[in-house]
Amino acid sequence: MIAEIAPFQALLDAVGWLLAWIYDLVGNFGLSIIILTVVFRVVLLPLGIKQIKAMQATQALQPKIKEIQKKYKGNRQKIQEQQMKLYQEYGVNPLGGCLPVLLQFPILIAMYSVIRAPVPYPPDDPDKPANEEFANNHLPEDSQLYRDVTTHQNQDFLFTNLQCPPASAGRSLAVRDTEGEPTGTTIDCGDSIPDRIPYYVLLLLMIGSTFYSTRQTQKATPATAQTSQTQVIARIMPLTFGILGYTVPAGLVLYWTVSNLFQVGQQTVMLRLGHIGPEAMDRRLEQAREKAATKGDRPRTGFLAQMMDRADQERKRRGGESTPLRKPPPRSPGKGSKGTGGTPRATGSGSAGPQGGPRKPKGSGGSGPNRPKRRGR
């Protein structure tokens, strides 16, 4: 598992230390999660902006990409070259939306590992490390948060216990050890149907914010770039996260909801400033053309431009290597003298005989009689 990798363990410990430090300041588990989420989003804000721009631009170019695929159908190399030229012309990096998404997954796993309650070892477990009572613990053992989490105290936020998943709302949740056996300790997740309402409200808020974020992305994309596949994904993805959120601790649902709300606010600001939207791509193309006109060079330099340069150099190199291998077709002496304008050397060498002496073309018996006729005219 990724959580067992040493560098990732260091990340988990760092997130646990930061969460415990914030908890010491505010004294509330829910507020600590919200503050930590905002900190993560602010740190990743530059990458988040690039991700939104790249995703919007890539979707906006889909109609042009389909035209290229239709025009060069069956020629994959030509399609790839034209697509790269199109991305370069608009200043779009198709991989720009991947890195921020990949960075969010380790943070999501870290938040899950830190928010969930540490799992206790059985008393007679031979594999139990010395001086450790809980497995998968990433909180500082001398922190107040560690004591509250391991004793399942002070975990309430907005009428929910953040250690309880919505699936366990309204009933007690048994704490199990690393071997899956109950320890005799329970987590209070409520004892009635009304106690489930806050959990379900939080879950619905997460689903709604996810749906609104994807819907906002669609509105900022030109209608010609929207396909039935993207619309289906926009409907399925919130439900997928909803199913996942039903089984994880409510603290992680709170983290994901706050992250979605931050994303919605970020996209709203970018839309109002005109950084994304249907008009943004046309404006970017106009700026790219103006830049190319002033510099006399390509509108954008970078990864795609370097790939295009290397491809052009490779084609020129291959063309240069193949040129010396080509041999001109052999010419027959008789046909050379009958050319109109493209065979002056053959006729010129043959005409030296009447003008300057006994020089005559070798094997060109038909050129001699023809030459006096032209001079006679």
* pLDDT for the residue numbered 116: 83
Check residues 345 and 167 and name the one with the higher pLDDT. Answer: 167
Beta-ladder partners of 174:
186
* pLDDT for the residue numbered 1: 46
Could you tell me the two tokens for 114?
């830190």
Q: What is the mean pLDDT of residues 292-309?
A: 53
* pLDDT for the residue numbered 308: 58
* Residue-wise pLDDT tens digits, 161-203: 999 999 999 998 888 888 888 888 889 898 889 999 999 999 9
Lowest mean pLDDT among 85-99, 186-200, 288-302: 288-302
Q: What is the mean pLDDT of residues 128-143?
A: 85
For the cut 90, the answer to whether the pLDDT of residue 275 exceeds it is no
For the cut 60, the answer to whether the pLDDT of residue 305 exceeds it is no
For the cut 80, the answer to whether the pLDDT of residue 205 exceeds it is yes
Most confident of 12-16, 46-50, 224-228: 12-16
* pLDDT for the residue numbered 376: 45
* Residue-wise pLDDT tens digits, 72-91: 888 888 888 888 888 777 77
* pLDDT for the residue numbered 369: 46
Domain ranges of the chain: 2-121+135-278, 282-314
Residues 356, 365: Cα–Cα separation, whole Å: 18
Lowest mean pLDDT among 139-143, 259-263, 328-332: 328-332
Check residues 367 and 206 and name the one with the higher pLDDT. Answer: 206
For the cut 80, the answer to whether the pLDDT of residue 329 exceeds it is no
Q: What is the mean pLDDT of residues 290-303?
A: 53
For the cut 50, the answer to whether the pLDDT of residue 243 exceeds it is yes
* pLDDT for the residue numbered 238: 83
Reported confidence tier of residue 309, pLDDT bands at 50, 70, 90:
low
Q: What is the mean pLDDT of residues 120-136?
A: 83
Residues 76, 64: Cα–Cα separation, whole Å: 16
For the cut 50, the answer to whether the pLDDT of residue 315 exceeds it is yes
Percent of the chain exceeding pLDDT 90 equals 20
Q: Which of 284, 254, 9 is nearest to 135 (CA)?
A: 9
